[in-house]
Structure 1
Amino acid sequence: MKFIHIDKENSIAFYQQIMSSIEKAIKEKKLLRNDKLPSVNKICIEHKISRDTVLLAYEKLKKKGVVKSIRAKGYYVRTEDFNFDERYFLLFDELNIFKEDLLNSFLKGLAGKVQVDTFFHHFDPAMFSKLISDNMGNYSKYIILAANVEGVESSIARLPKNDVYIIDQMRNSLKIYSGIYQNFVENIYTAMESVLDLLQKYNRYILIFPGHKEPYDMVTGFEKFCREHGKNYSVIPDLKNFKLRKGQVFLIPNDRQLVETIEKCNHHHLVIGEDIGIISYNETPLKKVVQNGITTLSTDFSEMGKKLAQMVLKNERKLIENKCTLNLRKSL
């Protein structure tokens, strides 16, 4: 059944005519999901056009999510539903309330103009690599939160550089791409320096850093502050075998450790904000009321999602640091 029609007298580009023919055939149910499309060579011979023209049509249809390619087999219909001009690949580490805020704001900013497919690598390097490999060429934009997964550079490098955006956590090796991110080193240093007068009553500075999911730049920023201001400090993975004493102040990235710290303070009758100081990473509504208020250091994930949507829709190529705010409360 012949369904690709090219009118060489028409001013519409040949590749666009190929795309329109295939999309029309799908809409008219002449092509169904997983049906094989004519080979590149067959179309070239039948219509006396170049391979590059046919490949361009197929690649654009791939980015729209209409077709898929299978190595050594050819091109196939991917879906019969294609109401979007573009499809974005969004790769998160995991879903939590902060990523949910980012995602919802991003989708709102896109205003239904784009289909977004969301994936999760769960800090697994093999899963990260597989998700990139399986989806190469199928999307017009690739938005990636690599987190602290090692060795991602080679996988990301396989994607078109101008279609890649790195979000939330950045590293020097990924700054060749556009994106929006937190500057953990600068944010922690600046935030702690801004409350130096309140921190003076503490004689021991402690970062609880499990290191499984948290960005190592947190350690760098914390140690930079402590060294430059002559503070006695420690970086510990958890509170196991650690004795709380009056005069300690904690920077806590993980909410599980925050709860444990509060429980231990209450158990040992240590008053938070007087005997023990706490700065928790990432704002939540609950932290405004727990223990009369927990001081937080947090970026605005909703703002990050909003700015990201603006960047990708305008195809802007730049790096943006997302603002971070210290919300001072009684825990300090």
Structure 2
Amino acid sequence: MDSADPRTYLKRKFPAIALALLQIGVLGACTSHPALGTKHPSDSAFRVALLTPGPVSDAGWNAAAYEGLELIKTRLGADTALVQTKSPADFEDAFRDFASRGFDLIFAHGFEYTDSAIEVARSFPNTCFVVSSGSESSANVASITFNVDQATYVEGVLAAGVSKTGVVGAVGGIELPSIRLFFEGFKRGFLSVQPKGRILISYTGNFDDVGAAKEAALAQISQGADVLIHNADAAGLGVFLAAARAHVFAFGVFNNQNGVAPDVVLASAVTSTPLAFLKIATEVKDKRFHPGMLEFGMHDGMVRVVFNPKLESRISAAALKRARQVEHELATGQLVLPPTLMQPPATK
């Protein structure tokens, strides 16, 4: 996929759900890789590549990474490239292709890329590899973690303030440790206000099946859930569809998804993925980047909660005040989540 292909989608800042659903699958095309060792047309340029596990039309996880790539292109004048890997078998090939062509920096947006990055990086010491939510680092491999569980904790507090049934639901894609951590933050925030409440958690087994996510959400609603959260990438749109159908609330994740379903999404747990990517790319370009286990959170403004102004009138003043106070306490260090919630990987 050429890095310019999804630009129209992203500039619209998340269209209506129906349009977003039509785009799923359309924007997930792969690039065709030239032979290894092929020279790039502009060998002197700073080159940055991005690997994503799903389409950048998901209005969330992958879209945030693509915005970061575009920001690097705009701010640093970098030559950029993007590929959506279809399966783990593609990981090493994609890494080797970009590294052999002299790319300076390769972002791989997902925990699942860690092992391949570590393996390939040994053969390409002059290329920096950065894995989102990765679990290891090396001389030229960095792993970045966003403590997004801080934001989902705030969303859990808010959910407790609006739930009338005392039951909330969470729908995930693949059950990864980081997604469990993500939901654990939401659960603890919810139970801090409603200690006798219940959280229903289910996984669809993939990040693409919108219908499966919708059915999972509807099943939770049938058990009394009146507030939902997801960590399912593109499939998360199915959770919003279920919430709209049942007239319950939901939360957005990773990107500001308030505009995806403005009558449903109370707030979004947002990570500043584009700014983090730009920071790293700038340091790599200036030859002052130090790979390692890198962590971002509310304390540095890289994780935050964006409330949906359209629905604030549906939240009691007390519930909104409590959620904002908890957010402030997390950002300033007055409230520290238990260590089990702060261990990486914190996203996916």
CA contact (8 A) 2:269 2:303 kept: yes
Partner residue in 2 for 1:219: 180
- The 5 A counterparts of 1:199-278 are 201-211=164-174, 216-226=177-187, 229=192, 230=195, 231-237=197-203, 238=213, 239-240=215-216, 242-245=219-222, 246-254=224-232, 258-265=236-243, 267=245, 270-272=246-248, 277-278=249-250
Cα 1:81–1:136 change in 2 (3 A) is closer
Secondary structure of the 2:136 match is helix
Q: By how many angstroms is 1:103 displaced?
A: 1.6
> In structure 1, how many angstroms separate the alpha carbons of the residues matched to 2:262 and 2:155?
21
Partner residue in 1 for 2:5: none
Partner residue in 2 for 1:327: 306
Cα 1:200–1:254 change in 2 (3 A) is same
- Pick from 117, 120, 123: which aligns with 2:84? 120
- Pick from 274, 298, 320: which aligns with 2:270? 298
Deviation by residue 1:217-265 (Cα, 9 ceiling, x = unmatched): 1322322552574442221123347152455321123466554445445
CA contact (8 A) 2:105 2:284 kept: no
What amino acid is aligned across from residue 120 of structure 1 in structure 2? Answer: Q
* Structure 1: gaps spanning 5 or more residues: 1-66, 70-77
Deviation by residue 1:146-189 (Cα, 9 ceiling, x = unmatched): 4142642553442446732415x213224873354423444423
Cα 1:232–1:194 change in 2 (3 A) is closer
Say if 2:112 is the partner of 1:149.
Answer: yes
> In structure 2, how many angstroms separate the alpha carbons of the residues matched to 1:247 and 1:126?
38
Q: By how many angstroms is 1:208 displaced?
A: 0.4
Secondary structure of the 1:82 match is coil
- Pick from 56, 68, 72: which aligns with 1:96? 56
Q: By how many angstroms is 1:128 displaced?
A: 0.6
Cα 1:259–1:224 change in 2 (3 A) is closer
> In structure 2, how many angstroms separate the alpha carbons of the residues matched to 1:119 and 1:262?
27
> In structure 1, how many angstroms separate the alpha carbons of the residues matched to 2:111 and 2:127?
21
Cα 1:148–1:224 change in 2 (3 A) is same
Q: Provide TM-score, normalisation by structure 1.
A: 0.59
CA contact (8 A) 1:202 1:247 kept: yes
Q: By how many angstroms is 1:194 displaced?
A: 5.3
- Pick from 280, 304, 309: which aligns with 2:252? 280
Deviation by residue 1:264-323 (Cα, 9 ceiling, x = unmatched): 4554xx433xxxx31121214633x63165421122343234323322222221525261
What amino acid is aligned across from residue 290 of structure 2 in structure 1? Answer: R
Cα 1:115–1:178 change in 2 (3 A) is same
> In structure 1, how many angstroms separate the alpha carbons of the residues matched to 2:275 and 2:220?
39
Aligned residues: 244
Q: By how many angstroms is 1:127 displaced?
A: 0.7
CA contact (8 A) 2:169 2:199 kept: yes
Cα 1:263–1:94 change in 2 (3 A) is closer
- The 5 A counterparts of 1:58-97 are 78-79=38-39, 81-82=41-42, 84-97=44-57
> In structure 2, how many angstroms separate the alpha carbons of the residues matched to 1:265 and 1:118?
33
Cα 1:196–1:88 change in 2 (3 A) is closer
Identity of aligned residues (%): 12
Deviation by residue 1:2-58 (Cα, 9 ceiling, x = unmatched): xxxxxxxxxxxxxxxxxxxxxxxxxxxxxxxxxxxxxxxxxxxxxxxxxxxxxxxxx
Which of structures 1 and 2 has the larger relative contact order (alpha carbons within 8 angstroms, sep 6+)? 2
Cα 1:313–1:194 change in 2 (3 A) is farther
> In structure 2, how many angstroms separate the alpha carbons of the residues matched to 1:296 and 1:233?
19
Q: By how many angstroms is 1:207 displaced?
A: 1.1
Partner residue in 1 for 2:152: 188
- Pick from 296, 308, 323: which aligns with 2:280? 308
> In structure 1, how many angstroms separate the alpha carbons of the residues matched to 2:161 and 2:244?
22
Q: Provide TM-score, normalisation by structure 2.
A: 0.57
What amino acid is aligned across from residue 82 of structure 2 in structure 1? Answer: T
